[in-house]
Copies of this chain bind each other. A is one copy, B any other.
Amino acid sequence: MINVLAIDAGGTSTRAVLLDETGHCHGYGFAGGGNPVSSGPDRAAASITAAAEVASDAAGRPPGDVGHVLIAMAGMSVSGPIDWVTTPLAARGFPATAHVASDLLAIYFSGTWEPDGYAMVAGTGSAGIRVRGGATEATADGLGWLLGDAGSGYWIGHRVVGAAVASLDGRAEPTALVPLVLEAAGIEDSRERGPDGRSSSLRALAQALYGLRPVELSRFAPLAFAAGSDATARAILDDAIDALARLFDAISVRDLAGPLVFGGSILTSQPRVSEGVAEIIRGSGFDPEIRTVPDGVVGAAVLGLRSAGIDVTADIFDRIRSTLAHLR
């Protein structure tokens, strides 16, 4: 019996699953952020180790019984040594070596066992990959808040606050986003002007927003969906849909049909966006089967089995999904 520990280490949370070579999942664990870039290596390692121990305990299989470890994480973290996490794992009795895979590939294999297709993620950031023969053949975007992540939660949130600021500043039309943004930032709506002729609300809002890390502007993205028929909010969401359709355009080739796996909150919890993107994709002559996944832990399990030399068939894939569903 081969025991595989598969870990999906994300920026805000980390999932771990312990499974056997038939795809049967025996234990599941969950912890905080496991990305060494956003959380720092120490906190990321603590999260990964915690999730691994919970999964191992729940499975009733001690760390020493684990034969293979696979960790899926964001692209930038994949290159370079991973002692920061293997050393703490080994200290708890897990194997001293681990395979690393891209978080985008884990999202892909959370939706399908098939070796050829596409995955697109739009959460805080956004990125897409083309998968051929089980490996990444092309990547687009994932270039971060300053240069890319088009259509992502950051991208939408940044436009939401920018539109509210411009409206308060008299440079844009009134929009329902103004009261929504002020309320979300905990700022009273006062248009009274200070000695420099600026409203006190605008001054307080700018100060509050510069106090955040830029990526935290993603927390304002839901306001674009909450603003109903507001023209400014609709234009932002239409632009996000266009940007995500261009992301598919950048990764897709005619000789590779699908499936297409959607991940990240913007593509999985906002039908206006996912349906809008799907419509443009179909209009461009592609008709991939679209599947939606909540995270990359099933794919991490698939990649974990493959790293142990196991061929993941449709049967094994289905078993991973169904047995894992019982654990969480």
Contact = CB atoms under 8 A, between A and B. Distances in A.
Contacts of A139: 196-198
A115 to B, nearest CB: 16
Contacts of A161: 147
Given A75-B196, A130-B197, A139-B197, 16 more contacts: A102-B196, A129-B197, A136-B197, A138-B193, A139-B196, A140-B171, A141-B171, A143-B165, A144-B210, A147-B162, A147-B165, A147-B209, A147-B210, A148-B162, A148-B206, A171-B249
A161 to B, nearest CB: 7
A99 interface: no
Contacts of A162: 147-148
Contacts of A197: 129-130, 136-139
B146 A166 contact: no
A54 interface: no
Nearest to A207: B76
Kindly report how many copies of this chain are found in the complex they form together: 2
Nearest to A75: B196
B198 A146 contact: no
A206 B171 contact: no
A144 B203 CA distance: 12
Interface string A73-115: 0010000000000000000000000000010000000000000
In this complex, which of A137, A143, A246 has the most chain B Cβ atoms within 10 angstroms of its Cβ?
A143
